[in-house]
Amino acid sequence: MDWRRARQAPYNAGMRADTVSQISPPVSRPEAAAPALAVVEVDQIFHAFGSQRIVNGLSFSLARGTIACLLGPSGCGKTTVLRAIAGFEPLREGRILLDGKVVSSAAGGVPPEHRRIGMVFQDYALFPHLTARENVAFGLTGQPRAQRAARVDEVLQLVGLDGVGSRYPHELSGGQQQRVALARALAPRPELLLLDEPFSNLDVDLRERLSLEVRAILKAQGTTAILVTHDQHEAFAMADEIGVMHGGLIEQWGSAHALYHQPATRFVAGFIGQGVLMPGRLRGPREVMLELGTLTSREPLALPADAEVDVLIRPDDIVHDDASPMRAEVLHKAFRGAEILYTLRLASGGRVLALVPSHHNHAIGEPIGIRVQADDVVAFPRAAR
């Protein structure tokens, strides 16, 4: 989704106090009309359980063929949004449109079975007494037998399971069960596919591989999809567009690259990737002074002159350089195969993270040379201490 299309209630009255200043326009949500060809539009929706608000004025829209992700920690409201789109949860306020037609509002909604939405649940929800073929065929009622059989064959082949159709769920691996659930959701040719933490029951290696394979399948079919997850690696692997949720709102909507390199709020900066916020001070409209040296922005920073700021420093912004006069002490190290993630203590006692090729294997307590090389300058007004 283009950043100009996303909308959020808190931004209608102006940007938040912790909004980032960076080298490109903030990926925020100015008021704008949803695109005419949007498959799904979520418009200022609110949902609550009793007196506890879970979703708090959330909006976004998706063009056809887009794979989007709602990413956030447990309890942020992302699964509730997915269930509201599916028709499983009512709305207190706002509305949800599919293909331009209102399917949910505070006045009521279209039943889930009439929304042409497919859903892949966290536990796959396969029928244990039905074979893989029978599970996939379950949603194809009302079609001639030959047509149903042809469609089942088609989607099983699509997900790479054309040889296991006669097996029962307990005879399949976790990855195969996940593929059956995907095939069942795709079989009726839904307008929209919803995936609720679909890889959470799989081991890390299989999760990463399947997320890439599922993305390829959805793209091949031109399927519009929304993934819900707390795992940013899944989100990065699958989604074209990602909305980072916090407290029932979308803090920022954009590409994985934009969320990592140009976070719009402190929460996004802390939730996406790793990094530290270092104290600094503006010296002119483009320069920030901090303990590591001077960072220069390609564009003016939208902060007051001489302002005290907190600057985001990612592990990949710190370069290991034996020739550098700046030294830092190794406090911790985490071996990651090709790289080592070092936690380093600066002369002031401040700490930074550095991602270094693993052939640079330094001991705890050893001083090493470093320098800062940040391509994106991200600074927030100084937080109260």
- Residue 302: the pLDDT is 83
Measured CA to CA, the distance from residue 266 to residue 329 in angstroms comes to 27
- Residue 35: the pLDDT is 44
- Residue 11: the pLDDT is 32
| pLDDT more than 70, % of the chain | 90
CB neighbours (10 Å) of residue 286?
A: 15
Which tops the pLDDT comparison, 62 or 203?
Answer: 62
With a cut of 70, say whether residue 10 has pLDDT above it: no
For residues 163-172, b (16+ Cβ closer than 10 Å) or e, as one string? ebbeeebeeb
Give the pLDDT confidence of 317-354 residue by residue, as tens digits: 999 999 999 999 999 999 999 999 999 999 999 999 99
With a cut of 70, say whether residue 187 has pLDDT above it: yes
- Residue 89: the pLDDT is 95
Give the pLDDT confidence of 249-303 residue by residue, as tens digits: 999 999 999 999 999 999 999 999 999 999 999 998 889 999 999 999 888 888 8
Give the pLDDT confidence of 110-141 residue by residue, as tens digits: 999 999 999 998 888 899 999 999 999 998 98
pLDDT average, residue stretch 147-151: 95
Name the token pair of 34: 């949803």
Give the pLDDT confidence of 22-54 residue by residue, as tens digits: 443 333 343 444 444 789 999 999 999 988 899
Give the pLDDT confidence of 84-104 residue by residue, as tens digits: 999 999 999 999 999 999 999
CB 292 within 8 A of CB 352: yes
Q: Which amino acid is present at 330?
A: V
Q: How confident is the model at residue 384 (pLDDT cuts 50, 70, 90)?
A: low
Instruction: Indicate the average pLDDT of the chain.
Output: 88
Domains parsed from the chain with CATH numbers: 3-116+190-271 (3.40.50.300), 276-381 (2.40.50.140)
Stretch among 10-14, 102-106, 302-306 having the lowest mean pLDDT = 10-14
- Residue 274: the pLDDT is 94
Give SS3 for 34. coil
Q: Name every residue whose Cβ is closer than 8 Å to that of residue 211 and which is 6 or more positions away in sequence.
A: 199, 233, 234, 237, 238
- Residue 248: the pLDDT is 95
Backbone dihedral angles phi then psi of residue 182, each to the nearest 5 degrees? -65, -45
Q: How confident is the model at residue 108 (pLDDT cuts 50, 70, 90)?
A: very high
With a cut of 60, say whether residue 218 has pLDDT above it: yes
Angle ∠(28,30,31) on CA atoms, nearest 5: 150
- Residue 93: the pLDDT is 96
- Residue 208: the pLDDT is 85
The end-to-end CA distance of the chain, in Å, is 36
pTM here is 0.86
- Residue 201: the pLDDT is 81
Give the pLDDT confidence of 155-186 residue by residue, as tens digits: 999 999 988 999 999 999 999 999 999 999 99
With a cut of 60, say whether residue 306 has pLDDT above it: yes
